[in-house]
Amino acid sequence: MPGFLNGQLLIAMPQMDDKRFQNTVLLICSHDSTQAMGVVLNQRHNDLELSELAQQVGIGEPRFNANEPIHIGGPVEPSRGIVVHSSEHVLPDTTPINHDMAMTANIKVLSEIINGVGPNDFIIALGHASWTAGQLEKELRDNIWLTMPYESDLIFDHSPEEIWGACFTRLGISAGHLSTTAGHA
């Protein structure tokens, strides 16, 4: 949809005062005139890996990807699992995000990942971020976020600690030189 940010990256500006989102990069999974929803891509749960999560949800011991980290997807529904993944692997309830990525909030995708038959690229997150109608647009006008097109190598070829800085580098911006005030033409 024109004017909406589906499939775009949302990059927290250096002056972000909400500690939950400082230095974060989110993938906007859905955005329309009534709401927006995204998943933080670069915050990991301390000491929570897929092997432990698989045991907690009762799907057994992973044959594959046991050491895969679990991410903090955002402050909304922090116990709800969401897998953001490459779009070559879909289930009936998978939601496409863009031409490369999809989102599945079904335990079956976790089972497939631990058995080695899931998507090639994935991030497993607990929780998500959401905005009400017009809220994200206001935050963009207030210079809280930058946006950029999604690029899979930014997410899957960098460690979570590097993603935020890599986005600024890709945009050709030095985060230290950004103004904390928004300009309007």
- Extract the tokens encoding 96: 């496409």
Helices within 69-149 (DSSP H only): 107-114, 135-141
pTM of this prediction?
0.90
Chain centroid to Cα 113, Å, comes to 18
- Extract the tokens encoding 2: 């024109």
Q: What is the CATH number of domain 8-177?
A: 3.40.1740.10
Q: How far apart are CA 40 and CA 12, in angstroms?
A: 10
Residue whose C-alpha is closest to residue 36's, from 123, 97, 101: 97
The ranges assigned to domains in the chain are 8-177
- Extract the tokens encoding 57: 């949800």
With a pLDDT cut of 90, the percent of the chain lying above it is 85
pLDDT of residue 85 exceeding 90, the answer is yes
Q: How far apart are CA 184 and CA 84, in angstroms?
A: 34
Contact 168, 154 (CB under 8 A): no
Q: pLDDT by residue (tens digit) across 91-129?
A: 999 999 998 999 999 999 999 999 999 999 999 999 999
Confidence class for position 184, pLDDT limits 50, 70, 90: very low
Q: pLDDT by residue (tens digit) across 164-173?
A: 999 999 999 9
